[in-house]
Structure 1
C-alpha cells in the first residue's frame, strides 16, 4: 500500500500503535473530505467542477482495481480534496489491514451503510471484505451526492436511515435515490443508474465508466482551474454591473439632498 503512487490516491504514510490506539497515517488534504466540500454553501460548484471531481474519483478507483485492491469502504467521507481541488481516494486497504492485525471493528452504524451495495448488506462477512462490484455501487451513490449536492437518499426525508437500509437490503420495491434530469447530462445519469443495478454482474467496471465519462466530456480533460477562472470572470462582470447600478442610485440620492438643502438655505 505504501508503494502505491497515483495523483488520485491519498498517500498512505504508515501505521502506528500507541497507548492502545491503532492508527493509519495518511497525507493531509487541506480542503477536507468531498462531503465537507459539498456541504460548504459558500463554494459554488458548476457542472465542470462536479465533472472534474467525479473524473478524479473514477481514475483513483480504476487504479486501485487494476492493482487488485478492493476498497470496500468507499464513501464521500473518505474521499479527500487537496488545495488544488484534486480529489483523492482515501482509506483504501483498511479492510486488509484490520484483518491482518486481527482487529475487531465495531458494527457499522446505519448512516455508514448508505453507500453499501444490497448484496453486501445481506452478507455481513462479505461486507467486511468488500467486492469490486460493491465499489461500483458505492461510486453511484457518491455520484448522486455530487450531482444533487446533497446527502445519500436525501429525497427520502420521511424515512429513517434504518428504514432506507432495510428497503435497499430487501426489495421489492427497488429503493434508489432520485436525481433530477436537469442537474447533469443524461449520459451521466444513465451511468449512475447502471452502476447501482440490483444485479452486480450488470454493473460496469471502472474502466468502462472511465471510457463513457470521457465520451460525455468529448475527450476534453476537465480542467478545474479553467472552470474557476470562468466563474471569477463572471463574478467580476456581475460586480461591475452592481457597482454601476449603486453609483447611479447614489447620484440620484445626492441630487435630491442638494435640492432639499437649496430650498432651506441660500445656494
Structure 2
C-alpha cells in the first residue's frame, strides 16, 4: 500500500492503533468525501465539474487495477476531494488487511451494500478484497449518484432492504433509473454497461477511461450543459414575462 502513488489515490501514511482501536492513516482532504460534496447545496456542480470528478475517479481506479489491486469497498464515501477539487480514492486495502488478520465478518446495514455487485451479495464466501469487475459495478452506482446528485436508487422509492433483496434475486433486474434529460445518452449507456448483471460484460477501467475521454462524450457533456443552461434561461424569461404581464394587468385595473 505504501508504494501506491498516484494523483488520484489518497496516499497511505501508516497505521494507528490504540487498545482495541485500529485505523489507517491517510492524507487529509479538506473538501470531505464525494458523498459530502454531492449533498452540499452551496457547491455548484455543472456537467464539466462532474465529468472532471468522474475522470479523476476513473484514473485512480485504472491505476489501482494496473497495480493488481482491486478496491473491494468503492463507494462515494471512500472518494475524497482535496482543496483543489481533485478526487482521490481512499480506503483501498482495508478489506485485505481484515482478511489477513482473519477478523470476523460483520453484516453491514443494507444501505452500505448499495455499491456491492450482485454476484458478491449472493456469495457469503466471496473474497473481502473484492474483484475487478465488482469495482466496475461500484463505479456505475457512483456514476448514478453524480449524474442525478442523489443517493443510490433515490428515484425508486424503495427501502434499502427491498433494494438489496431485489438486486440479489432478479428477475426483474433492479438498478437505478436515470432519465434522458438528466444525462447525455452516452453517459447513461456507459452506466448500464458497468452495472451489467453479467460481470464479464462490464468494461475494464482502461476502456471506461477511453470512452469518457472520447471527444464524443466530452462534446455530449458540453452540449448537455449548454442545453440545461438554455432551458433555465428560457424558464427565467418566461417567468419574467408573466411577472411583467401581471404588473400590466394591475396598472390597467387601477387605470379604469
Which interval holds the TM-score relative to the shorter structure? 0.7 to 0.9
TM-score normalised to structure 2 length: 0.83
Structure 1 partner of 2:209: 210
Deviation, 1:45, is: 0.5
Please say which of residues 180-189 and 132-141 is displaced more in the overlay: 180-189
Structure with larger Rg: 1
Q: Please state if 1:50 is matched with 2:50.
A: yes
Query: C-alpha offsets along residues 183-239 of structure 1, whole Å, 9 cap, x if unaligned?
Result: 22211111110000000001100000000111146779x9xxxx9xxx9xxxxxxxx
Q: Please state if 1:190 is matched with 2:189.
A: yes
Question: Over aligned residues, Cα RMSD in angstroms?
Answer: 1.8
Matching of residues 46-125 of structure 1 within 5 Å: 46-125=46-125
Deviation, 1:66, is: 0.3
Query: C-alpha offsets along residues 8-50 of structure 1, whole Å, 9 cap, x if unaligned?
Result: 0011111122111111111110000000000001111000000
Partners in 1 of 2:36 and 2:124 — Cα distance? 29
Deviation, 1:106, is: 2.2
Contact 1:121 1:127 in 2 (8 A): no
Q: Please state if 1:148 is matched with 2:139.
A: no
Q: Please state if 1:12 is matched with 2:36.
A: no
Q: How many residues align?
A: 222
1:44 aligned counterpart, secondary structure = coil
Deviation beyond 3 Å, 4+ runs, structure 1: 216-220
TM-score normalised to structure 1 length: 0.80
Please say which of residues 79-88 and 12-21 is displaced more in the overlay: 12-21
Contact 2:140 2:195 in 1 (8 A): yes
CA distance 1:92–1:217, shift in 2 (3 Å)? farther
Partners in 1 of 2:179 and 2:42 — Cα distance? 22
Deviation, 1:97, is: 1.0
Query: C-alpha offsets along residues 112-135 of structure 1, whole Å, 9 cap, x if unaligned?
Result: 000011101001221523111000
Partners in 1 of 2:134 and 2:177 — Cα distance? 20
Contact 1:121 1:169 in 2 (8 A): yes
Deviation, 1:105, is: 4.2
Structure 1 partner of 2:237: none
